[in-house]
Amino acid sequence: MATIRKKRKEPVSVFQRDPGPCSRLLINWLATLAVIMVFGLVMLFSASYTTGYLRMGDSFHYIKQQALCMLIGLGCMFAMSYVDHRFLRKMVVPGYLIVLAMLAVTLTMAPLNGCRRWIRFGGFTLQSSEVAKFEMILLCSSLAAKAPQVEKLSPGKMVIMNFREWLHVRVWKQLVIPVLPLIPVIALLALEPHMSGIVLTVAVVGTILLLSGSGGILTWVGAGTAGLMLETLLSHVDSIPYLQDRLDGWTQDLSKMTDQTVQSLYAIGSGGLEVFGTPFMMGLMEYAAMQCVQPELPEGKGTVGVEISSNHLAPTPVGMKVTATAEVTGISANGKMITFKVTAHDADGLIGEGIHTRAVIDNARFLQKCNDKLARV
């Protein structure tokens, strides 16, 4: 008498002892990643070495921070390579429920600039939509992998299905089931609102379906339709208040500016009035004087302001462009002091004038003297 024994499931550990040999594809991918990282560091250094030197006294200040974050990221990537993929597949459903709970909790948080996108706890903030993107990659990949692949039934041969089979396999199994979990995520992101998060999440799921071959021609038709819808969305952005408000923040109409822009302009104002403040006019004059002589100075030299006397002659409303000019009127006998005549204009004419004196300094020595104060405090 024959007995039927159920196959015993092997326990799945979190970490696998051996992630497998390094394939040529993996080596090429790591090499490409290394090139991208080095290129990014070079671009960051070229854009920040002057700022790092002038502000922090170290040209490598910002690149050191970026390199540290890069090493942490590489460490996390290396650790994740040892996580058993079968364990990740077991965690996709609990992870999906956790993501839905996080997105729901996000909606209860106090709004920031009209949006609820961050969970705040203990002085830290977490953007739940970023976690949702990662979870949707795992969940959609798992569902797409479980869907029956028609091409595998008869490799090398064209499989002919009747309409009912086509609906069951191509539409229901390969498209509807992988896409269904996306709907609650999109709904919660729309309530935040987070339009860019919706676009990126949909793009991630769509890319997975395209690469897995799910849905056949229907997936490609859906991708084309989504592209046309996105183009239509961007061409009619004025009909979507949230997106239009984001664009209106760059206009000169104070009533249409975002809260961040308005508060920044208020900070530049004077006495709480919506006008261009005197301290910022003087700062613009100083900047014009610095730019006037900096190209003529030897490498390693710079100037700092030591005295300024100005008259603010006329007010400038918010949104009007202001320019400042500087003219050298005198240089001390030892060449260490330079005097400028400075003026400021808006679109209507002269708004300020004054006299400004700057001292020529050695940048490294000046910063060292400044930093020595911190050691004495």
Residue 307 sits in a domain whose CATH number is 3.10.129.10
Residues 237 and 371 in one domain: no
Q: Does residue 6 sit within a domain? A: no
Query: What pLDDT shows up at residue 251?
Result: 55
Residues 348 and 322 in one domain: yes
Cα separation, 358 vs 194, whole angstroms: 48
> Which is catalytic among the residues 135, 194, 312, 356?
312
Residues 122 and 237 in one domain: yes
Q: Does residue 190 sit within a domain? A: yes
Predicted TM-score (pTM) of the model is 0.47
| CA distances from residue 110 to 47, 114, 242 in whole angstroms, order as listed | 36, 9, 18
For the chain, the domain total comes to 3
Domain boundary among 215, 248, 281: 248
Distance, CA of 289 to chain centre: 35
Residues 6+ apart with CB under 8 A from 366: 302, 304
Query: What pLDDT shows up at residue 1?
Result: 43
Q: Quick check: 321 and 347 in contact, CB under 8 A?
A: yes
Residues 183 and 101 in one domain: yes
pLDDT tens digits, one per residue of 228-250: 666 666 565 554 555 566 565 55
Residues 170 and 104 in one domain: yes
> Which is catalytic among the residues 278, 325, 339, 357?
278
Quickly list DSSP for 34-101. Answer: HHHHHHHHHHHHHHHHHHHHHHHS-TTHHHHHHHHHHHHHHHHHHHHTTB-HHHHHHHHHHHHHHHHH
Distance, CA of 283 to chain centre: 30
Residues 38 and 93 in one domain: no
Residue for token pair 């000169």: 252
Instruction: Based on the residue annotation, tell me whether 278 is a catalytic residue of this protein.
Output: yes
Q: Does residue 8 sit within a domain? A: no
Range of the domain at 76: 23-82
Residues 104 and 165 in one domain: yes
Q: Quick check: 304 and 297 in contact, CB under 8 A?
A: no
Instruction: Tell how strand 349-362 and strand 301-312 pair up.
Output: antiparallel
71, 77, 79, 84 alpha-carbon torsion, rounded to 10°: 180
Residues 290 and 196 in one domain: no
pLDDT in tens, the chain (377 residues): 444 444 555 565 666 655 566 667 777 878 888 898 888 888 888 767 766 776 777 778 888 888 888 888 888 888 877 787 778 778 888 888 888 888 888 888 877 656 777 787 766 777 888 888 888 888 888 877 776 665 544 455 555 666 677 677 777 777 777 778 888 888 888 887 777 778 788 888 877 777 766 656 666 666 666 666 666 665 655 545 555 665 655 555 555 555 556 555 555 555 556 678 888 889 889 999 999 999 889 888 999 999 999 999 998 887 788 999 999 999 998 889 999 999 999 989 999 999 999 999 998 888 888 888 877 76
Query: What pLDDT shows up at residue 339?
Result: 94
Instruction: Based on the residue annotation, tell me whether 125 is a catalytic residue of this protein.
Output: no
Residues 34 and 172 in one domain: no
> Which is catalytic among the residues 192, 194, 201, 286?
286
Hey, what are 120's tokens? 């705040």
Closest to 343 measured CA to CA, from 278, 268, 275, 281: 281
Residues 94 and 228 in one domain: yes
Cα separation, 323 vs 291, whole angstroms: 13
Query: What pLDDT shows up at residue 105?
Result: 85
Residues 242 and 306 in one domain: no
pLDDT tens digits, one per residue of 301-331: 999 999 999 999 998 887 788 999 999 999 9
At CA 251, angle to CA 282 and CA 243, rounded to 5? 135
Q: Does residue 103 sit within a domain? A: yes
Instruction: Based on the residue annotation, tell me whether 286 is a catalytic residue of this protein.
Output: yes
| CA distances from residue 184 to 93, 96, 108, 143 in whole angstroms, order as listed | 14, 10, 17, 16
